[in-house]
Amino acid sequence: MTPTLDMRDSVAVITLGDDENRFSPEALDLLDTHLDSARDQAGALVTVGTGKFWSNGLDLDWLMGHGDQLEWYVGRVHHLFERLLTFPMPTVAAVNGHAFGAGAMAAIAHDFRIMRSDRGYYCFPEVDIDIPFTPGMAALIQSKTVPTTAVDAMTTGRRYSATEAVDAGLVDATEPLDTLLDAAIARVTPLLGKNPATVAAIKSTMYAGPIAALRDRTGRPSVSSPS
């Protein structure tokens, strides 16, 4: 993943990339930089990919070679989730393809999600790859879903199509690929002009529980392999 930032009038568009868009340390650094710029320059945020994936989540190849840095790395990913969850302006993920694992978590941390209608799955596969959710990850997902969806999504590894994801409340709408980005920008454009400090304060109160869990470094489950 090599994310880039463009401005569409007052809407910041972060394009994640055209590969699996996994969260390597370098990609996380770039995302932080772009989020800083969006915070300072924009009134709303859209994230989108350009290939088969919105994001396939954690960079497992990097972790296999840096297992001693697992806790640090998970903390960095948690930080990304928290930034998106509390970002001081309206946010929407334009889910152009597959969103799996930590990728699906990053998308759900946005205020809104619009998913490509004809291709891609929304999935939390942790149960099938024997990697339990951290408390912060679980709290994030559960803060954005009804209990029946949380059970289905988190304990079965179900792959939701776009229509199924809407029915489950994981995403808000579907859109053809050629109009996906425009639809995402249109979703947040009427919300421009909100006071950033007020928006951030409201989100921080709404998601106080998940934020505390994402910041906690003591309650991580044991894993048999890097996640």
Q: Dump pLDDT digits (tens) for 121-143.
A: 999 999 999 989 999 999 999 99
C-alpha–C-alpha distance, residues 200 and 73, integer Å: 25
What's the pLDDT at 218? 56
Percent of the chain with pLDDT over 90: 90
Burial class (CB in 10 A: 0-12, 13-18, 19+), 10: middle
pTM strictly above 0.75:
yes
pLDDT of 219 over the 90 cut = no
pLDDT of 206 over the 70 cut = yes
C-alpha–C-alpha distance, residues 110 and 140, integer Å: 11
Average pLDDT over the chain reads 94
